[in-house]
Amino acid sequence: MGLGGISIWQLLIVLVIVVMLFGTKRLRNLGGDVGSAIKGFKQSMKEEPPQTEEETKKVAQDDVIDVTPQKTESKDKAE
Protein backbone atom coordinates (compact mmCIF):
# COMPACT_ATOMS: atom_id res chain seq x y z
CA MET A 1 0.00 0.00 0.00
CA GLY A 2 1.23 3.46 -0.86
CA LEU A 3 -0.25 6.85 -0.25
CA GLY A 4 -3.98 6.73 0.46
CA GLY A 5 -4.48 3.25 -0.96
CA ILE A 6 -2.47 3.90 -4.14
CA SER A 7 0.22 1.32 -4.81
CA ILE A 8 3.67 2.03 -6.18
CA TRP A 9 2.69 0.39 -9.50
CA GLN A 10 -0.22 2.76 -9.97
CA LEU A 11 2.05 5.74 -9.28
CA LEU A 12 4.59 4.46 -11.82
CA ILE A 13 1.89 4.01 -14.47
CA VAL A 14 0.66 7.58 -13.89
CA LEU A 15 4.25 8.86 -14.11
CA VAL A 16 4.83 7.02 -17.40
CA ILE A 17 1.61 8.47 -18.87
CA VAL A 18 2.57 12.01 -17.81
CA VAL A 19 6.05 11.63 -19.36
CA MET A 20 4.50 10.32 -22.58
CA LEU A 21 2.02 13.21 -22.75
CA PHE A 22 4.34 16.09 -21.96
CA GLY A 23 7.80 14.77 -22.75
CA THR A 24 10.88 14.95 -20.61
CA LYS A 25 12.05 18.32 -21.97
CA ARG A 26 8.81 20.10 -21.10
CA LEU A 27 8.72 18.51 -17.63
CA ARG A 28 12.35 19.52 -17.03
CA ASN A 29 11.57 23.12 -18.04
CA LEU A 30 8.50 23.15 -15.84
CA GLY A 31 10.49 21.86 -12.87
CA GLY A 32 13.17 24.48 -13.43
CA ASP A 33 10.58 27.26 -13.62
CA VAL A 34 8.90 26.15 -10.41
CA GLY A 35 12.26 25.86 -8.67
CA SER A 36 13.37 29.34 -9.71
CA ALA A 37 10.03 30.81 -8.63
CA ILE A 38 10.38 29.25 -5.17
CA LYS A 39 13.98 30.44 -4.93
CA GLY A 40 12.96 34.00 -5.86
CA PHE A 41 10.14 33.93 -3.31
CA LYS A 42 12.50 32.81 -0.55
CA GLN A 43 15.00 35.57 -1.44
CA SER A 44 12.31 38.24 -1.37
CA MET A 45 11.14 37.03 2.04
CA LYS A 46 14.68 37.28 3.42
CA GLU A 47 15.33 40.77 1.99
CA GLU A 48 12.33 42.46 3.61
CA PRO A 49 13.29 43.61 7.12
CA PRO A 50 10.67 43.03 9.79
CA GLN A 51 8.85 46.14 11.00
CA THR A 52 8.95 47.18 14.62
CA GLU A 53 5.81 48.18 16.50
CA GLU A 54 6.84 51.86 16.34
CA GLU A 55 7.13 51.76 12.55
CA THR A 56 3.76 50.04 12.29
CA LYS A 57 2.10 52.67 14.50
CA LYS A 58 3.71 55.50 12.52
CA VAL A 59 2.45 54.08 9.23
CA ALA A 60 -1.01 53.61 10.74
CA GLN A 61 -1.08 57.22 11.98
CA ASP A 62 0.00 58.56 8.59
CA ASP A 63 -2.92 56.76 6.93
CA VAL A 64 -5.62 58.23 9.20
CA ILE A 65 -8.29 60.17 7.35
CA ASP A 66 -10.31 62.81 9.17
CA VAL A 67 -13.97 62.08 8.56
CA THR A 68 -15.55 64.47 11.05
CA PRO A 69 -18.21 66.64 9.39
CA GLN A 70 -17.35 70.30 8.95
CA LYS A 71 -19.90 73.05 9.45
CA THR A 72 -20.77 74.72 6.20
CA GLU A 73 -23.42 77.27 5.39
CA SER A 74 -26.28 75.76 3.49
CA LYS A 75 -28.00 77.50 0.59
CA ASP A 76 -31.37 77.22 2.37
CA LYS A 77 -30.35 79.56 5.17
CA ALA A 78 -29.18 82.25 2.76
CA GLU A 79 -32.68 82.69 1.28
What is the tens place of the pLDDT at every residue in 41-56? 998 888 766 667 776 6
What is the tens place of the pLDDT at every residue in 14-23? 999 998 998 9
11 contacts: CB under 8 Å, gap ≥ 6: 2, 3
The answer to whether 18 and 12 are in contact (CB under 8 A) is: no
- Please provide the average confidence, as pLDDT, over all residues in the chain: 79
Q: Which has more pLDDT, 74 or 46? A: 46
65 contacts: CB under 8 Å, gap ≥ 6: none
CB atoms within 10 A of CB 4: 5
Please state the rounded mean pLDDT for residues 24-51. 85
pLDDT, residue 27, reads 87
pLDDT, residue 64, reads 66
Task: Kindly list the distances between the CA atom of residue 9 and the CA atoms of 1, 5, 22, 74, in Å, as whole numbers in the listed order.
Answer: 10, 12, 20, 82
